[in-house]
Chains A and B, each alone.
Chain A
Protein backbone atom coordinates (compact mmCIF):
# COMPACT_ATOMS: atom_id res chain seq x y z
CA UNK A 1 0.00 0.00 0.00
CA UNK A 2 1.20 3.50 -0.74
CA UNK A 3 2.22 5.51 2.30
CA UNK A 4 0.59 8.88 2.92
CA UNK A 5 3.34 11.45 3.35
CA UNK A 6 2.75 15.06 4.43
CA UNK A 7 4.83 18.10 5.29
CA UNK A 8 3.29 20.76 7.50
CA UNK A 9 3.99 23.75 9.70
CA UNK A 10 2.36 25.28 12.78
CA UNK A 11 3.12 27.93 15.34
CA UNK A 12 1.95 28.52 18.86
CA UNK A 13 2.33 31.42 21.27
CA UNK A 14 2.51 30.04 24.79
CA UNK A 15 0.45 32.09 27.22
CA UNK A 16 2.84 34.15 29.34
CA UNK A 17 5.66 32.37 27.55
CA UNK A 18 7.39 32.01 24.27
CA UNK A 19 6.83 31.17 20.61
CA UNK A 20 7.01 27.61 19.31
CA UNK A 21 7.21 26.74 15.63
CA UNK A 22 7.01 23.24 14.29
CA UNK A 23 7.96 21.78 10.93
CA UNK A 24 6.55 18.31 10.63
CA UNK A 25 6.80 15.44 8.22
CA UNK A 26 4.32 12.64 8.76
CA UNK A 27 3.79 9.24 7.26
CA UNK A 28 0.56 7.35 7.91
CA UNK A 29 -0.31 9.66 10.84
CA UNK A 30 3.00 9.00 12.50
CA UNK A 31 5.81 11.48 13.03
CA UNK A 32 8.51 10.91 10.45
CA UNK A 33 10.58 14.00 11.15
CA UNK A 34 10.00 17.07 13.33
CA UNK A 35 11.86 20.33 13.84
CA UNK A 36 10.93 22.44 16.84
CA UNK A 37 12.12 26.05 16.71
CA UNK A 38 11.29 29.14 18.73
CA UNK A 39 12.44 31.61 21.38
CA UNK A 40 12.10 29.30 24.40
CA UNK A 41 15.00 28.15 26.60
CA UNK A 42 16.15 24.57 26.96
CA UNK A 43 19.20 23.44 28.94
CA UNK A 44 21.40 21.86 27.79
CA UNK A 45 20.62 23.34 24.38
CA UNK A 46 21.98 20.44 22.29
CA UNK A 47 19.31 18.13 23.68
CA UNK A 48 16.71 19.63 21.32
CA UNK A 49 17.96 17.27 18.57
CA UNK A 50 17.40 14.24 20.82
CA UNK A 51 13.95 15.48 21.84
CA UNK A 52 13.01 15.69 18.17
CA UNK A 53 14.34 12.18 17.58
CA UNK A 54 12.55 10.87 20.68
CA UNK A 55 9.14 11.42 19.07
CA UNK A 56 10.01 9.94 15.69
CA UNK A 57 7.62 7.13 14.82
CA UNK A 58 5.12 8.27 17.46
CA UNK A 59 1.44 8.56 16.58
CA UNK A 60 0.09 12.11 16.26
CA UNK A 61 -1.57 12.12 19.66
CA UNK A 62 -1.07 15.12 21.96
CA UNK A 63 -1.02 13.12 25.20
CA UNK A 64 1.35 10.49 23.90
CA UNK A 65 3.78 13.05 22.46
CA UNK A 66 3.71 15.25 25.59
CA UNK A 67 4.33 12.21 27.75
CA UNK A 68 7.26 11.10 25.62
CA UNK A 69 8.89 14.57 25.69
CA UNK A 70 8.25 15.07 29.41
CA UNK A 71 9.85 11.74 30.28
CA UNK A 72 12.79 12.40 27.99
CA UNK A 73 13.45 15.78 29.62
CA UNK A 74 13.18 14.31 33.11
CA UNK A 75 15.43 11.37 32.32
CA UNK A 76 18.12 13.68 30.96
CA UNK A 77 17.71 16.26 33.75
CA UNK A 78 17.06 18.92 31.12
CA UNK A 79 15.28 22.18 31.89
CA UNK A 80 12.67 23.74 29.63
CA UNK A 81 11.77 27.40 30.24
CA UNK A 82 9.02 29.45 28.59
CA UNK A 83 7.22 26.43 27.15
CA UNK A 84 6.16 22.99 28.34
CA UNK A 85 6.24 19.50 26.83
CA UNK A 86 2.47 19.88 26.46
CA UNK A 87 2.98 23.04 24.38
CA UNK A 88 5.47 21.24 22.13
CA UNK A 89 2.99 18.37 21.70
CA UNK A 90 0.10 20.71 21.00
CA UNK A 91 2.04 22.52 18.29
CA UNK A 92 3.17 19.25 16.71
CA UNK A 93 -0.42 17.99 16.55
CA UNK A 94 -1.55 21.35 15.14
CA UNK A 95 1.01 20.96 12.38
CA UNK A 96 -0.16 17.39 11.80
CA UNK A 97 -3.72 18.57 11.42
CA UNK A 98 -2.52 21.14 8.93
CA UNK A 99 -4.07 24.05 10.82
CA UNK A 100 -0.93 25.98 11.71
Chain B
Protein backbone atom coordinates (compact mmCIF):
# COMPACT_ATOMS: atom_id res chain seq x y z
CA UNK B 1 0.00 0.00 0.00
CA UNK B 2 1.31 3.42 -0.88
CA UNK B 3 2.35 5.65 1.99
CA UNK B 4 0.36 8.88 2.41
CA UNK B 5 2.19 12.05 3.44
CA UNK B 6 0.68 15.42 4.21
CA UNK B 7 1.22 18.28 1.77
CA UNK B 8 1.08 21.82 3.12
CA UNK B 9 1.22 24.95 1.04
CA UNK B 10 1.40 27.77 3.55
CA UNK B 11 1.92 30.60 1.06
CA UNK B 12 3.44 33.94 2.00
CA UNK B 13 4.51 34.67 5.57
CA UNK B 14 7.21 36.57 7.40
CA UNK B 15 10.53 34.98 8.32
CA UNK B 16 9.68 34.42 11.98
CA UNK B 17 6.43 32.59 11.30
CA UNK B 18 8.07 30.56 8.55
CA UNK B 19 10.84 29.28 10.80
CA UNK B 20 8.54 28.87 13.80
CA UNK B 21 6.03 26.80 11.81
CA UNK B 22 8.79 24.46 10.61
CA UNK B 23 9.80 23.79 14.21
CA UNK B 24 6.17 23.46 15.30
CA UNK B 25 5.65 20.78 12.64
CA UNK B 26 8.79 18.99 13.90
CA UNK B 27 7.32 19.06 17.40
CA UNK B 28 3.96 17.76 16.19
CA UNK B 29 5.64 15.01 14.18
CA UNK B 30 7.77 13.96 17.17
CA UNK B 31 4.58 13.46 19.19
CA UNK B 32 3.02 11.54 16.32
CA UNK B 33 0.24 14.12 16.02
CA UNK B 34 0.77 14.59 12.29
CA UNK B 35 2.01 12.43 9.40
CA UNK B 36 5.27 12.94 7.54
CA UNK B 37 4.93 16.30 5.86
CA UNK B 38 6.19 18.27 2.90
CA UNK B 39 5.57 21.98 3.11
CA UNK B 40 5.94 24.69 0.46
CA UNK B 41 6.28 28.29 1.53
CA UNK B 42 7.41 31.76 0.51
CA UNK B 43 8.59 34.89 2.29
CA UNK B 44 6.77 38.22 2.66
CA UNK B 45 8.56 40.48 3.17
CA UNK B 46 11.68 39.13 1.47
CA UNK B 47 14.10 37.92 4.10
CA UNK B 48 17.59 36.70 4.89
CA UNK B 49 18.06 33.50 6.84
CA UNK B 50 21.40 32.54 8.30
CA UNK B 51 22.70 29.15 9.34
CA UNK B 52 22.68 28.08 12.98
CA UNK B 53 26.44 28.64 13.35
CA UNK B 54 26.71 31.95 11.55
CA UNK B 55 27.07 35.37 13.09
CA UNK B 56 24.24 37.76 12.20
CA UNK B 57 26.51 40.80 12.55
CA UNK B 58 29.14 39.31 10.27
CA UNK B 59 26.86 37.95 7.56
CA UNK B 60 23.96 40.37 7.27
CA UNK B 61 23.79 44.11 6.67
CA UNK B 62 20.97 44.58 9.14
CA UNK B 63 20.93 48.36 8.70
CA UNK B 64 20.15 48.00 5.00
CA UNK B 65 17.63 45.25 5.77
CA UNK B 66 15.83 47.49 8.25
CA UNK B 67 15.75 50.31 5.72
CA UNK B 68 14.36 48.07 2.98
CA UNK B 69 11.96 46.21 5.27
CA UNK B 70 13.75 42.91 4.81
CA UNK B 71 13.47 40.43 7.70
CA UNK B 72 16.46 38.49 9.05
CA UNK B 73 16.29 35.31 11.04
CA UNK B 74 18.53 32.51 12.31
CA UNK B 75 17.59 28.99 11.20
CA UNK B 76 17.65 25.90 13.39
CA UNK B 77 19.74 24.26 10.64
CA UNK B 78 23.38 24.86 9.73
CA UNK B 79 24.60 26.05 6.35
CA UNK B 80 24.96 29.49 4.84
CA UNK B 81 23.13 32.79 4.58
CA UNK B 82 20.29 32.80 2.08
CA UNK B 83 18.39 35.73 0.60
CA UNK B 84 14.77 34.65 0.20
CA UNK B 85 13.30 36.90 -2.45
CA UNK B 86 9.51 37.15 -2.25
CA UNK B 87 9.10 36.66 -5.98
CA UNK B 88 12.25 34.77 -6.90
CA UNK B 89 12.32 31.65 -4.81
CA UNK B 90 10.30 28.79 -3.40
CA UNK B 91 11.16 27.18 -0.08
CA UNK B 92 10.21 23.66 0.96
CA UNK B 93 10.49 21.62 4.14
CA UNK B 94 10.48 17.89 4.66
CA UNK B 95 9.57 16.80 8.19
CA UNK B 96 9.57 13.04 8.77
CA UNK B 97 10.29 10.37 11.33
CA UNK B 98 13.94 9.41 11.63
CA UNK B 99 13.30 5.67 11.67
CA UNK B 100 11.76 5.90 8.19
CA UNK B 101 13.13 3.59 5.47
CA UNK B 102 14.49 6.61 3.52
CA UNK B 103 16.67 7.85 6.39
CA UNK B 104 20.24 6.70 6.85
CA UNK B 105 22.46 7.39 9.85
CA UNK B 106 24.77 9.03 7.35
CA UNK B 107 23.83 12.68 6.80
CA UNK B 108 25.45 12.91 3.39
CA UNK B 109 23.53 9.89 2.16
CA UNK B 110 20.26 11.27 3.52
CA UNK B 111 20.81 14.63 1.80
CA UNK B 112 21.17 12.79 -1.47
CA UNK B 113 18.07 10.64 -0.87
CA UNK B 114 15.85 13.57 0.09
CA UNK B 115 17.23 15.88 -2.60
CA UNK B 116 16.31 13.28 -5.22
CA UNK B 117 12.70 14.46 -4.86
CA UNK B 118 13.78 17.92 -5.95
CA UNK B 119 16.09 16.60 -8.66
CA UNK B 120 13.31 14.52 -10.23
CA UNK B 121 10.88 17.43 -9.91
CA UNK B 122 13.29 19.79 -11.65
CA UNK B 123 14.00 17.25 -14.39
CA UNK B 124 10.27 17.10 -15.13
CA UNK B 125 10.52 20.80 -15.96
CA UNK B 126 13.39 20.07 -18.33
CA UNK B 127 16.20 21.12 -16.01
CA UNK B 128 19.21 18.80 -16.06
CA UNK B 129 19.42 18.86 -12.30
CA UNK B 130 21.95 16.90 -10.30
CA UNK B 131 22.74 16.53 -6.61
CA UNK B 132 26.12 17.92 -5.63
CA UNK B 133 27.56 17.08 -2.22
CA UNK B 134 27.39 18.34 0.43
CA UNK B 135 23.95 19.90 0.16
CA UNK B 136 23.40 21.51 -3.23
CA UNK B 137 21.49 20.82 -6.41
CA UNK B 138 23.11 22.09 -9.56
CA UNK B 139 22.04 22.71 -13.14
CA UNK B 140 24.55 23.46 -15.89
CA UNK B 141 27.22 23.29 -13.20
CA UNK B 142 25.65 26.12 -11.20
CA UNK B 143 23.75 26.00 -7.94
CA UNK B 144 19.97 26.17 -8.30
CA UNK B 145 18.99 24.83 -4.88
CA UNK B 146 20.54 24.85 -1.40
CA UNK B 147 19.41 22.53 1.37
CA UNK B 148 19.95 22.13 5.10
CA UNK B 149 19.08 19.29 7.43
CA UNK B 150 18.88 18.65 11.12
CA UNK B 151 17.65 15.89 13.40
CA UNK B 152 16.27 15.62 16.87
CA UNK B 153 13.33 14.12 18.78
CA UNK B 154 13.41 11.22 16.28
CA UNK B 155 12.51 13.63 13.48
CA UNK B 156 14.49 14.55 10.37
CA UNK B 157 13.92 18.12 9.22
CA UNK B 158 15.29 19.29 5.89
CA UNK B 159 14.47 22.58 4.26
CA UNK B 160 15.81 24.32 1.21
CA UNK B 161 15.22 26.70 -1.62
CA UNK B 162 14.72 26.57 -5.36
CA UNK B 163 15.59 29.68 -7.30
CA UNK B 164 13.12 30.84 -9.93
CA UNK B 165 14.89 34.15 -10.56
CA UNK B 166 18.13 35.47 -9.18
CA UNK B 167 19.47 38.99 -8.69
CA UNK B 168 23.03 38.79 -7.28
CA UNK B 169 23.45 42.56 -6.93
CA UNK B 170 20.36 42.73 -4.70
CA UNK B 171 21.68 39.74 -2.77
CA UNK B 172 24.82 41.68 -1.85
CA UNK B 173 22.98 44.74 -0.67
CA UNK B 174 21.68 42.62 2.22
CA UNK B 175 24.60 40.23 2.73
CA UNK B 176 27.80 41.73 4.08
CA UNK B 177 30.90 41.86 1.92
CA UNK B 178 34.37 42.07 3.50
CA UNK B 179 34.97 45.44 1.84
CA UNK B 180 33.40 47.61 -0.85
CA UNK B 181 36.23 46.98 -3.32
CA UNK B 182 35.30 43.36 -3.74
CA UNK B 183 31.52 43.80 -3.88
CA UNK B 184 31.50 43.75 -7.70
CA UNK B 185 33.74 40.72 -7.72
CA UNK B 186 31.44 38.86 -5.35
CA UNK B 187 28.41 39.76 -7.44
CA UNK B 188 30.25 38.36 -10.46
CA UNK B 189 31.21 35.21 -8.58
CA UNK B 190 27.58 34.60 -7.67
CA UNK B 191 26.55 35.13 -11.29
CA UNK B 192 29.08 32.50 -12.29
CA UNK B 193 28.09 30.02 -9.61
CA UNK B 194 24.36 30.44 -9.12
CA UNK B 195 21.55 29.99 -11.60
CA UNK B 196 17.76 29.96 -11.66
CA UNK B 197 14.90 28.25 -13.48
CA UNK B 198 14.46 31.37 -15.59
CA UNK B 199 18.09 31.28 -16.73
CA UNK B 200 18.23 27.56 -17.41
CA UNK B 201 14.87 27.23 -19.17
CA UNK B 202 14.93 30.71 -20.77
CA UNK B 203 11.33 31.31 -19.80
CA UNK B 204 9.32 32.34 -16.76
CA UNK B 205 8.36 29.44 -14.53
CA UNK B 206 5.45 30.08 -12.20
CA UNK B 207 5.22 28.93 -8.59
CA UNK B 208 2.29 26.60 -9.33
CA UNK B 209 4.09 24.91 -12.19
CA UNK B 210 7.18 24.39 -10.05
CA UNK B 211 5.20 23.06 -7.09
CA UNK B 212 3.29 20.60 -9.29
CA UNK B 213 6.55 19.24 -10.69
CA UNK B 214 8.15 18.97 -7.26
CA UNK B 215 5.11 17.14 -5.85
CA UNK B 216 5.46 14.53 -8.59
CA UNK B 217 9.23 14.42 -8.03
CA UNK B 218 8.82 13.76 -4.31
CA UNK B 219 6.12 11.14 -4.89
CA UNK B 220 8.30 9.31 -7.38
CA UNK B 221 11.57 9.58 -5.42
CA UNK B 222 10.09 8.65 -2.04
CA UNK B 223 7.43 6.22 -3.33
CA UNK B 224 4.71 8.12 -1.46
CA UNK B 225 1.44 9.89 -2.16
CA UNK B 226 1.17 13.53 -1.15
CA UNK B 227 -2.28 14.46 0.16
CA UNK B 228 -3.32 18.08 0.65
CA UNK B 229 -3.63 18.77 4.35
CA UNK B 230 -4.05 21.55 6.86
CA UNK B 231 -2.05 22.88 9.79
CA UNK B 232 -3.29 21.52 13.13
CA UNK B 233 -4.20 23.77 16.07
CA UNK B 234 -1.26 22.29 17.95
CA UNK B 235 1.08 23.45 15.18
CA UNK B 236 -0.46 26.93 14.94
CA UNK B 237 -0.28 27.43 18.70
CA UNK B 238 3.31 26.24 18.90
CA UNK B 239 4.29 28.37 15.93
CA UNK B 240 2.84 31.45 17.67
CA UNK B 241 4.72 30.53 20.84
CA UNK B 242 8.00 29.91 18.99
CA UNK B 243 7.79 33.28 17.24
CA UNK B 244 7.61 35.05 20.60
CA UNK B 245 9.99 32.82 22.51
CA UNK B 246 12.58 32.19 19.80
CA UNK B 247 12.56 33.31 16.20
CA UNK B 248 11.59 36.96 16.68
CA UNK B 249 13.97 37.45 19.61
CA UNK B 250 17.33 39.20 19.58
CA UNK B 251 18.69 36.46 21.87
CA UNK B 252 18.16 33.84 19.19
CA UNK B 253 18.92 35.85 16.07
CA UNK B 254 22.10 37.40 17.43
CA UNK B 255 23.21 34.54 19.60
CA UNK B 256 26.40 33.89 17.60
Contact = CB atoms under 8 A, between A and B. Distances in A.
Contacts of A35: 55, 256
A47 to B, nearest CB: 11
Interface string B15-59: 000000000000000000000000000000000000111110010
Nearest to A39: B80
B150 to A, nearest CB: 7
17 contacts: A21-B55, A21-B58, A37-B256, A38-B51, A38-B53, A40-B53, A41-B134, A41-B135, A42-B78, A43-B150, A44-B151, A45-B53, A45-B77, A45-B78, A48-B53, A81-B107, A81-B134
B148 to A, nearest CB: 7
A42 B151 CA distance: 11
Interface of B: 51-55, 58, 76-81, 107-108, 134-135, 148-152, 256
The secondary-structure label for the interface of chain B is loop
Interface residue tally on A, bucketed by range = 10 to 19
Nearest to A35: B256
A79 interface: yes
A18 B146 CA distance: 13
A41 B79 contact: yes
A78 to B, nearest CB: 11
Interface string A1-39: 000000000000000011101000000000000011111
